[in-house]
Amino acid sequence: MKTLKLIVAFLLLATFSFAQAPIKVACVGNSITQGPGRDNPDSYPLQMQAILGDAYQVANFGVSGRTMLRKGDYPYWNEPQFQQVKDFAADVLIIMLGTNDSKPQNWKFASEFRQDYLDMIHEFKKTMPVDGKVYVILPVPVTRVNFGITPDVMNNEQRLMLIDIAHESGSELIDLYTPFMGKEDLLPDGVHPNTEGLGIMARVIARAIRL
């Protein structure tokens, strides 16, 4: 009888511990994700952590200047963070890459962008739970050419491609483009959101993944 009680107590404790495990959220991206620093509280992932609370564990895997394209000048695929995302085994994956892909030296490989994006989603899904969720982000608008980043590519060509990629991969789509329309002051250099803009990103994404 004592043994049975111990087994029941163990099972209850294990169930309680499992129920309390935080939902792991991996944020993949470039400088907009990395923000002022991966450990900086102003970065959108850490602002989102503050919004979501202890029920979630948000990790910032952003790397400045990186591309989705394997043939881009600085592919995210080649960074240590690519493997770190796999090792993290997220319950929720947020991908926001493409801004640096719009640079002329990278967008000449535009025909490969879609497949590279689908392949990355597939690679990360291998390490996620069966019920894990992937979110494809429509990035914030680019309001002027800067750092070689091209508004026409970002705001027109690539945006439509991302909608198709989300649909084909069975991912959810989060729109960060619309909340920044007509709010150029939130993008001081035309590309990167300021602290207030990063806060808007955090709130929009947090709201989406809570649903």
Report the CATH number at residue 34. Answer: 3.40.50.1110
Enter the DSSP assignment of 29.
E
Identify whether 4 is part of a domain: no
Q: What is the number of structural domains in the chain?
A: 1
Identify whether 75 is part of a domain: yes
**pLDDT value of position 207:** 97
pLDDT tens figures, 69-82:
999 999 999 999 99
Identify whether 3 is part of a domain: no
Identify whether 16 is part of a domain: no
Mean pLDDT taken over the chain: 92
pLDDT above 50: residue 6: no
Identify whether 2 is part of a domain: no
**pLDDT value of position 20:** 77
Identify whether 44 is part of a domain: yes
- Which domain does 158 fall in, by range? 27-210
Residue 3's pLDDT band (cuts 50, 70, 90): low
- Please list the alpha-helical segments (H only) found in the chain: 2-20, 31-34, 44-52, 80-88, 104-107, 113-125, 151-152, 159-169, 195-210
pLDDT tens figures, 123-161:
999 999 999 999 999 999 999 999 999 999 998 899 999
CA separation for the pair 97, 110 (Å, rounded): 13
- pTM for the model stands at 0.89
Identify whether 1 is part of a domain: no
**pLDDT value of position 199:** 98
Report percent pLDDT > 90 for the chain: 89
Nearest to 37 by CA among 27, 49, 50, 46: 46
Identify whether 37 is part of a domain: yes
Q: What is the DSSP string of 129-147?
A: -TT-EEEEEEPPPP-S-BT
pLDDT tens figures, 89-107:
999 999 999 999 999 999 9
pLDDT above 70: residue 41: yes
